[in-house]
Amino acid sequence: MAADRVQVAELRRRVGDEISRQVAEAEQRSGSVIGGDDRRMLAHNIIARQIDALDTEAMNSGRPLATESERDELTRSVLNDLFALGRIQQYIDDPNITDIVINGHDTVWLTDRRGTKFRGEPVADSDDHLIEIIQTAARRGRSEHRWDPASPRLDLQLPSGDRLNAIAWLANRPAISIRRHDFDINRLKQLIDLGTINEPLHHLLKAMVRARFNLIIAGGTGAGKTTFMRCLINEIPPEERLITVEDSLEVGLHHFADLHPDQVELEARPANVEGVGEVTMNDLAINALRMNPDRLIVGEVRGDESLTLLLACTQGNDGTLCTVHADSSEGVFGRLQMYLAMTRERFDPAATNMLVAQGIDAIVHVARIAGNRRVVTSIREVTGADRDLVSTNEIYGPDETGRAAPRYTFSPARLERLEQAGFDRRWLNEPGRWER
């Protein structure tokens, strides 16, 4: 049930004024700042009293009192207006929604877990109101962000861990995009039930991680690369020290502190409005290697960090994981050639291929197939390079449905590493069952 917007706005005004008054008095008495959690608890108590007052007014005028569900909805709506993203928050809180796209306050598109796209309700009273909601959220983040005509683009991590991108003043209307991350999907076994992998692939992928293969997870936009990498990461033994490097924190390693008690998450930072303070992915990757990692984990590689990553892989940093945007496992090589050609050293394809052959053990490709299923389509072992050609061995390749099916076996040296990690080579000849 949607709360009455006029009533919510009036209640928000009353509660906001009362919070400001009580917080100012409390801070003056104590000399300390009242934190966000305390403010939220205070707001909850004030809302309850205000709703009781509304019920008294309704009873005196002969109107029905608010039901329990109406009280809950009114409380939630006011709290969302004060401390979250207003009406947008209802979609962020919905576990069935994976993507939220807002093209102006009254044009909202949602995508659910089945891949179905549908229209949502307006999330603000006007475009100016929408901008105000996002600006407020940007100011209250862990580090304050500006979003105004001088800084028209915004990338923001929400308290839920989801990422928000916003742009205005460069478009006809403010445009907001929110990509949801399902941190509940975090183990390889879960991917069997989801139809992403089957049992033979589960055993193989687990052994590849335990054998400290240097892996690239490839796929297109929305293919599930980050979720898949998260599942691989959570197969790493808990005693290992993990360092993640990301453009924006999406892997969410801190959600799994019980599995990885020794972990650090590094996030790149753009320059401020004065043009200073930038920290790039490459800066962080270089620094991460000085932090004594057992595993270096890099989010989507698309710049200078590709060279740092490959050099690290050739220098004994086994067990490295990263993602690359590519439409096939074989297409990764062209991507890396392009990225390294844009570095200061301007690597040619032959030099890039040699680095790949020396540093990368295998590439795992994930994709969406018919029915919006995210599946593994290919596992490709890197076996060498001869100037313009990387030699490979496609262990698994797509069948007629696009799902990975066994083709060849690993080279003897890598097969031995897998067996030392507990893998039974008979799984390589077992097609297994796919969830349909």
Closest of 165, 159, 129 to residue 142, by C-alpha: 159
Q: Is 427 exposed, middle or buried (0-12, 13-18, 19+ CB in 10 A)?
A: middle
* This model's pTM is above 0.85: no
Mean pLDDT along residues 331-350? 94
The answer to whether the beta carbons of residues 144 and 128 sit under 8 Å apart is no
Whole-number CA gyration radius for the chain: 25
> Taking the CB of residue 378, how many other CB atoms lie within 10 A of it?
24
CA distances from 11 to 27, 161, 411 (A): 24, 29, 68
Residue 383, pLDDT > 60, answer: yes
pLDDT in tens, 246-256: 988 889 999 99
pLDDT recorded at residue 410: 96
pLDDT recorded at residue 435: 62
Among the listed ranges 150-159, 278-287, 313-322, which one has the minimum average pLDDT value? 150-159
pLDDT recorded at residue 28: 75
CA distance 411 to 83: 56
Reduced to 3 states (helix: H, G, I; strand: E, B; else coil), residue 378 is strand
pLDDT band at 143 (very low <50, low <70, confident <90, very high): low
pLDDT recorded at residue 63: 86
Among the listed ranges 13-17, 194-198, 211-215, 356-360, which one has the minimum average pLDDT value? 13-17
CA distances from 246 to 21, 141, 191, 250 (A): 41, 18, 24, 8
* Structure tokens belonging to residue 17: 């004024």
CA distance 95 to 107: 21
pLDDT band at 273 (very low <50, low <70, confident <90, very high): low
CA distances from 294 to 243, 255, 394, 413 (A): 8, 19, 28, 22
CA distance 424 to 81: 55
Q: Is 359 exposed, middle or buried (0-12, 13-18, 19+ CB in 10 A)?
A: buried
In terms of average pLDDT, the best of 109-123, 152-166, 348-362 is: 348-362
Helices (H), 213-304: 225-233, 281-289
CA distance 195 to 407: 20
CA distance 380 to 64: 67
User: Could you identify the residue written with the tokens 């959600």?
Assistant: 255
Residue 60, pLDDT > 90, answer: no
Residue 1, pLDDT > 70, answer: no
The answer to whether the beta carbons of residues 204 and 420 sit under 8 Å apart is no
pLDDT recorded at residue 3: 59
* Structure tokens belonging to residue 406: 């066994």
pLDDT recorded at residue 324: 96
The answer to whether the beta carbons of residues 229 and 323 sit under 8 Å apart is yes
E runs forming strands in 220-305: 242-246, 263-267, 295-300
* Structure tokens belonging to residue 326: 């590519």
The residues that bridge with 430 in the sheet, in sequence order, are none
- Average pLDDT of the residues of the chain: 89
CA distance 196 to 217: 14
The answer to whether the beta carbons of residues 161 and 400 sit under 8 Å apart is no
pLDDT in tens, 414-433: 999 999 999 999 999 877 77
pLDDT band at 159 (very low <50, low <70, confident <90, very high): confident
pLDDT band at 285 (very low <50, low <70, confident <90, very high): very high
